[in-house]
Amino acid sequence: MADTKKLFIKTYGCQMNVYDSERMAEAMGGAGYETTDKPDEADMILLNTCHIREKAAEKVYSELGRLKSFKKDNPDLKIGVAGCVAQAEGEEIMRRQPSVDLVVGPQAYHRLPEMEEKTRKGKKALDTDFPEEDKFEKLKRRPKAKRAPAAFLTVQEGCDKFCAFCVVPYTRGAEVSRPVERIITEARDLVERGVREITMLGQNVNAYHGEGPNGKVWTLADLIWELDKVDGLERIRFTTSHPNDMQDDLIDAHAECKKLMPYLHLPVQSGSDKILKRMNRSHTAESYIRLIERIRKGRPDLLLSGDFIVGFPEESEEDFQATLDLVKEVKYGQAYSFKYSSRPGTPAAERPLVDQDAADERLQRLQALLSKQQKEVQDSMVGREVSVLFEKTGRFEDQMVGKSDYLHAVHVAGSGAEIGDIRKVKIVESGTNSLKGVAV
């Protein structure tokens, strides 16, 4: 029997890339590979890339420059680039970095084994197509090894919104929803292997419109209620959503489904209607605020997370103040904020940048406000009882670490819990990025 080959995957970016990396590892497992966390002992190195942030491609080229030295010690080493930078750059990656053996886009990674076989014959392999076949169906079934208690599950890919700053429609393609039956089958499989919490993923997950029984089109809310029936699955989450697709049945699910956790990531990007229009966001600050009010009416304890872009082309100080005003009104428990960076090929890339010193200063002000709100929300948890899913051991003896209903990291000592247990915990202390609790 041939020796098992080693695969090292470095994952950049979002949770969907984490999920994709897991599936790539499983695909290559069928080709005789097992994963390693040591790139210097790997027979194949894959970079699963993200194209959202500034200079994403240059960071990949820099990493590839570092990795090519590994080929001196192992001439048989194969280096591949996957994900959104692979989709966007394609042949340019191989031209700039000849040490790369294969480039595969995010919709074609089910073809990795045959691409790897091609590279073993001394040929280069490039696949950035948007194939008609369902990559999830073409992948080999997941092995029945035990899983961590929380898992990601992709239900939707692509986006049709074409926000002026975003490359996703170009790198991930149009919105595609997986059929209900395949999602539920995968969810049950995960639960059989120890998973108790599933986060459904999609670039625009609440636009889900998958085929259900009898050809009926299901919404994300329909899918949530179907997952609610899965024995052993205790928690349901989803990310990332668009305000325009937050329909009534999904709002009702937040109010009524006990397995759906009281946490929602709903990016707004700006509080200025002028900037929102220039971003092609198709919602207003007022419509967003009214939407949050409706959701919180059904689930008053909802913890809200958001995304913000500062310094978008044409943003004035008045526009920025509108963003601060929205943040103060909504009150976020978590948030992600970034200075605008131009992404080649997007409509906004052709527009002149605002003064970068002003953009930096605005970002600092926004992040200070968001950090203050996050601390206030975390401090308000002290004295409350929450449900914690324990996911790993802590740094200290007899300490366990898990996630609360609200996605806060919680450290608990002396609980007697094991990984995968869900326990009631009383919060006794709020730290910078986590909470401390005692078992109830």
Average pLDDT along the chain: 91
In a shared domain, residues 157 and 119: no
Number of domains in the chain: 3
* pLDDT for residue 379: 97
Domain end (from 261, 285, 319): 261
**How confident is the model over 265-285, as pLDDT tens digits?**
999 999 999 999 999 999 999
**How confident is the model over 237-257, as pLDDT tens digits?**
999 999 999 999 999 999 999
* pLDDT for residue 1: 39
In a shared domain, residues 173 and 87: no
Is residue 47 in a domain?
yes
Residue 163 assigned to a binding site: yes
Domain end (from 127, 162, 181): 127
Domain boundaries, position 195 = 144-261
* pLDDT for residue 163: 95
In a shared domain, residues 18 and 43: yes
* pLDDT for residue 103: 94
* pLDDT for residue 318 is more than 50: yes
Is residue 314 in a domain?
no
Does the predicted TM-score (pTM) go above 0.95? no
Tell me what the mean pLDDT of segment 209-232 comes to: 96
The CATH number assigned to the domain holding 148 equals 3.30.750.210
In a shared domain, residues 240 and 162: yes
Is residue 238 in a domain?
yes
In a shared domain, residues 151 and 241: yes
Is residue 115 in a domain?
yes
Is residue 425 in a domain?
yes
Counting residues of the chain whose pLDDT is more than 70, the rounded percentage is: 95
Residue 14 assigned to a binding site: yes
In a shared domain, residues 151 and 120: no
Is residue 332 in a domain?
no
In a shared domain, residues 57 and 171: no
**How confident is the model over 424-437, as pLDDT tens digits?**
999 999 998 899 99
In a shared domain, residues 94 and 172: no
Is residue 326 in a domain?
no
Residue 257 assigned to a binding site: no
HEC profile of the chain: CCCCEEEEEEECCCHHHHHHHHHHHHHHHCCCEEECCCHHHCCEEEEEECCCCCCHHHHHHHHHHHHCCHHHHCCCCEEEEEEHHHHHHCHHHHHHCCCCCEEECCCCHHHHHHHHHHHHCCCCEEECCCCCCCHHHHCCCCCCCCCCCEEEEECEECCCCCCCCCCHHHHCCCCEECCHHHHHHHHHHHHHCCCCEEEEECCCHHHCCEECHHHCEECHHHHHHHHCCCCCCCEEEEECCCHHHCCHHHHHHHHHCCCECCEEECCCECCCHHHHHHCCCCCCHHHHHHHHHHHHHHCCCCEEEEEEEECCCCCCHHHHHHHHHHHHHHCCCEEEEEECCCCCCCHHHHCCCCCHHHHHHHHHHHHHHHHHHHHHHHHHCCCCEEEEEEEEECCCCCEEEEEECCCCEEEEECCCCCCCCEEEEEEEEECCCCEEEEEC
Is residue 202 in a domain?
yes
Tell me what the mean pLDDT of segment 108-128 comes to: 89
